[in-house]
Amino acid sequence: MSALDRMAMTVLQPGFEGTGFDGAGFEGAGFESARARRAVPPEWLLRALADGLGGVILFARNIATQEQTAALTAALREENPEVIVAVDEEGGAVTRLEAATGSSWPGNLALGVADDVAVTERVARRIGGLTAAAGITLDYAPVVDVNADPRNPVIGVRSFGSDPEVVSRQAVAWIAGLQGAGVAACAKHFPGHGDTVTDSHLALPTVPASREVLERRDLAPFRAAITAGVRAVMCGHLLVPALDDVPATLSRAVLTGLLREELGFGGVAVTDAIEMRAVAALYEPSEIAVRALAAGADVICVGVSSPGGRSVYDLRDAIVQAVREGRLPEWRLAEAAERVLGLAAWHAGQAGARAAVAGETGAGAVDDAGRALGLAAASAALRATGAPDRPVLETAPLVVRLAARQSQAVGRARSFGLAGALAEILPGTAEAEVGEGEALPDLSDPRRPVVIAVHDAVRHAWMRRLLDEAVRARPDAVVVETGVPGAPVGRVHLATHGNAAVSARAAARWLTAGPGTASP
């Protein structure tokens, strides 16, 4: 294998199938014994790591338990000690390590609403402990997009809010907490995905803002993150006409002119997954990879790989061919590979920080103190309108959940579980899920309290219509909004500012708490 081949492998970061224990009888609780056994990643992946593959990205499909994940990442490092192991662990709705149970910590909007930077740093440090114990190098968090449009289908509660000053200071605190635990943070989605109404997983979003607005609003949190020493920045698949006429991921004006030269970022620039339709509808994967590297990206993130890993080697070969044809300067590929190896070296130097956080957090397990922190942070984000008698609920309610399809960014994470959280306090709580085009259940029994749970009702006309219908049928209904809140509806309207599992528990406790409990 040539040095050029190896450099091309270094800049790739594919996903893969399996937990490392597939077919070995380690199901469910059996994964607890994973530490005593060696994980066996796919053969093609081990071969690619030996050939210099610079990174991998883990998804919920790769994760069963903390110990299994740690065994898997250890096996990867046996083949390549410098491999970057990345994951999307934002807290809140987007979690991979806690996908089966829901995150123990609220997401960014909840943290932004409370706006307590000390709490945010502690939450991020806890997430750092969780990821560090799993063997993670790079966490694709925090989201530092300013959620300028409440109709945004993919950012929403993943953002710290719509105020760039709040987003900036919260981002700095989050980065300090995570990187203080010895795990690299990544600010995303450059140059700002907040002012869009299109999900880049499905199509190419356009950011309509002027350069002046971008500078004042969208770029401010990235400047703050870079000043704070964030190790990586992820570029979004966005069309920003004020900057260029090609998607940002493929734009030298964005990745080199703006990110490197104007903002002074010297860390690792990562693409969002190249199979997302925003760019995949325009070019083949190999062309996206070559153009992104030429524009200034250092890491090509590929969420899905073909069986046997042929697609990874095809990308390598396309990059090498582009260098030989003069389409991609060799110095640019060498620069990208050097930055990847530099991040690996930074991670190796953070062993002391990871050991310290392991002593604080119980080697990654979410202990009672971590759960208490998560619940307190989620509770601080609750906002109620109306003048409710307390407790709001004394008997088991019917929870009607108006459910829209989640963004692909959420993946397999467990959805908001208000009914389950209420059932732990009020046994007999029932749930009815209603989707678009479906009718409300019977709400006529006055002895049964009704709770209407919605997420981002401001984005869904059908949801608002059913919500109004439900409140007309039951004026005493309680409305719980778990997304970006719009105008309050109902006798009591409780906004959680997030749909993490811990936000459901916080809402359930508030709804059932007595009159001595402070109102949010």
User: Token digits for 469?
Assistant: 């219908």
Does the active-site annotation cover 272?
yes
CA distance 498 to 455: 9
Tokens 């809010």 locate to 161
Catalytic residue among 116, 195, 244, 272: 272
Sheet holding 430-434, edge to edge: 383-385, 492-495, 478-481, 450-454, 398-402, 430-434
Mapped onto helix, strand or coil, the DSSP state of residue 433 is: strand
Mapped onto helix, strand or coil, the DSSP state of residue 452 is: strand
Phi, psi of 223 (to 5 degrees): -60, -45
User: Token digits for 186?
Assistant: 């990544």
Q: Given the DSSP bridges, would you call strands 383-385 and 492-495 parallel, antiparallel or unpaired?
A: antiparallel
Return the number of other C-beta atoms located less than 10 Å from residue 5's C-beta: 16
Query: Looking at residue 94, what DSSP letter applies?
Result: B
Q: Are 4 and 330 in contact (CB under 8 A)?
A: yes
CA distance 58 to 17: 9
Q: Are 293 and 332 in contact (CB under 8 A)?
A: yes
CA dihedral 401, 405, 409, 413 (to 10 degrees): 40
Q: What is the DSSP string of 263-331?
A: T---SEEEEPPTTSHHHHTTS-HHHHHHHHHHHT-SBEEES---GGGHHHHHHHHHHHHHHHHTSS-HH
Mapped onto helix, strand or coil, the DSSP state of residue 44 is: helix
Catalytic residue among 189, 193, 201, 347: 201
CA distances from 187 to 10, 99, 175, 243, 387 (A): 21, 22, 8, 19, 40
CA distance 241 to 70: 43
- In the chain, % helix, strand, coil (3-state, to 5) comes to 45, 10, 45
Tokens 């990544």 locate to 186
CA distances from 150 to 188, 211, 460, 493, 495 (A): 18, 21, 11, 18, 14
Does the active-site annotation cover 189?
no
Catalytic residues: 201, 272
